[in-house]
Copies of this chain bind each other. A is one copy, B any other.
Amino acid sequence: MIKVGIVGAGGYAGVNLLGILLRHPKVEVKWLMSEPAHKGKSISGLFPHLKNNCELVCETLDDLDKNLSSIDIVFLALPHGIALNYVPRILKAGKKVVDLGADYRFNDEAVFKKWYQIDHPDKKVLAKAVFGSPELYKNKIKKASLIGNPGCYPTASILGLAPLVKNGLIDLDSICIDAKSGVSGAGRGANLKVHYCERNEGVMPYAVTSHRHMGEVEYQLGRVAGKEMAVTFVPHLIPMTRGILTTIYAKLKGKSEKLKALYKLFYKDAPFVRILDIEPCTKYVVNSNYCDISVAYNECTNTVIVMSAIDNLIKGAAGQAVQNMNLICGYDETEGLTGLAVYP
């Protein structure tokens, strides 16, 4: 039984993390932190679905130091640029960190700065962070003390592309990622962009050439490829709450016959990746930790089409964070994560 604390419990990723951990057989949640406006409030007041299941009261980051001794692992679910001010001291206190934010997803401070316009305060810590993609770095994760949990779009994009990139099967200059996300990816903060009436019954692209997750995909796929690379990445807002679908286009090099077998082989030890015979639908994965992938090939245009679906808040955030925690703790990778999709 390990003890954990959650920072950022008042957000959608945070509360999903809490929900998973409350049902995890080997975890005890000791405390929760959220923004100052939530201080002193019961988490079940912020999220009434938790009534009778968790009556922890929110603290804030000001209470972090005094609370570190009671836990083994800290989960951070914060907007970018905050975690990096706290992580070094948490590590120094001998605690492990799973950061669901963006601050430790790049080991290279220059690349981080390019995309986030922030100087990283401690490059040594940054260099030690392990990118928390269990399908790519399981052994490193097991030994890590600091995990940069992948972003939601990058999770779907990288899992969709890694087998092709690793095996040199596509023209790296030709990759286009068309990503579709439910609105929960924008977080719980209120603004016009997430107003029900502005999102309902409409689909739109945004940040067409500038989304920060494009940088994460390029950096992490570049590590897989062994060289620098760029991708076209266009995210879209879809009128639904949860789920990401990426549809990925690339020019094939070599033969198309064995693409599916290649994916099955690449992910043979990945319990949460399913290679489908049909098109994926986000409904098949909502509230589960699965990433469903399907591959097709348009022979007239010599284009391989990869489709991947995740729940942005589970495999794209909280579930993958727990999967990383399981690996760090030596637990079975699937512990606490066996929930099936809600259907319909």
A residues adjacent to B (C-beta < 8 A): 12, 15-16, 19, 22-23, 47-53, 173-176, 178, 180, 182-184, 188, 190-192, 194-206, 208-209, 230-232, 234, 236, 238-243, 245, 247, 249, 274, 276, 278-288, 292, 296-301, 303, 305, 307, 309, 338-344
Residues of chain B contacted by A247 (CB below 8 angstroms): 178, 205, 234, 236
Cβ–Cβ contact A51 & B276, under 8 A: yes
Residues of chain B contacted by A49 (CB below 8 angstroms): 283-285, 288, 340-341, 343
Return the contact of A232 from the options B242, B249, B309 (Cβ within 8 A).
B249
Residues of chain B contacted by A175 (CB below 8 angstroms): 301
Return the contact of A205 from the options B19, B190, B245 (Cβ within 8 A).
B245
CB nearest to A272 among chain B residues: B52
Of A12, A49, A195, A197, which is in contact with the most chain B CB atoms at under 10 Å from its CB? A197
Cβ–Cβ contact B279 & A184, under 8 A: no
Cβ–Cβ contact B51 & A201, under 8 A: no
Cβ–Cβ contact B232 & A201, under 8 A: no
Cβ–Cβ contact B340 & A243, under 8 A: no
How many copies of this protein are present in the complex?
Answer: 4
A297 to B234, CA, bound (A): 11
CB nearest to A338 among chain B residues: B23
* Chain B nearest Cβ from A234, distance in angstroms: 6
A15 to B282, CA, bound (A): 18
Cβ–Cβ contact B236 & A239, under 8 A: no
Return the contact of A176 from the options B249, B283, B339 (Cβ within 8 A).
B249
CB nearest to A52 among chain B residues: B274
